[in-house]
Homo-oligomer: A and B are copies of this chain.
């Protein structure tokens, strides 16, 4: 991150006076330099408090001052967060992001092929966070999850996403199968990624807009969801292994689709 000029003297510090605030109505602590930088840069994110070490404030650059940050020691920030959170000296209390509508997200203009990633009941926030990170890296237009079977917006998810939670539209829908029907009507080619996929990944994707559907580790993609797909694809791997980690499989599939 960019360097900024030294921290302004006389600024209020809170070395011992940082108050713990339970994340009640809509309050959500995000932490880690990348996650905090992305949260502050996201105009849709309502920031309530910013607590940083002087060093983290420098790393975050001038923009952090718009949010009147409280300066604190590493220990004091640790006490605001769940035990063991790797916060790197930066934490933000914010409201949850406003809910997004898939139609509106996809209505905005785009260049080149659009990719939408659909997660069918993946619940591990580390995996979903890593997938969001890869989705931002490969310019995915939206990540679609089922509202009642997805990890909620959380510090763990945002940290694993390394800023991507505030960059990639994360759309919660009531019904995944219905969302796939809608995407089909919008002209997307829907591919189920599965170990028993009928085609090799590199042959499965036409040049049109694409939906990539991923299932949970173990359970896989549910039957009624897979039935809404136009084809299924597999990543060729050794017979010795049944499958890849789901975030690794997602990364490979996105790489292949962006690999002209």
Contacts and interface: CB of A to CB of B under 8 A. Distances in A.
A100 interface: no
A190 interface: no
Nearest to A129: B245
Contacts of A138: 237-238
A87 to B, nearest CB: 13
Given A248-B251, A251-B244, A259-B202, A238 B126 contact: no
A240 interface: yes
Contacts of A243: 137, 162
A134 interface: yes
B164 A133 contact: no
Interface residues of A, number: 35
Copies of this chain present in the complex amount to 2
Contacts of A163: 241
A255 interface: yes
Contacts of A245: 130, 133-134, 160, 162, 247, 251
Given A251-B248, A251-B251, A252-B255, A137 B241 contact: yes
Nearest to A133: B245
A164 B258 CA distance: 29
Contacts of A160: 245
A139 interface: yes
A199 interface: no
A88 to B, nearest CB: 9
A122 interface: no
A195 B253 CA distance: 19
Contacts of A133: 241, 244-245, 248
Contacts of A167: 240-241
A214 interface: no
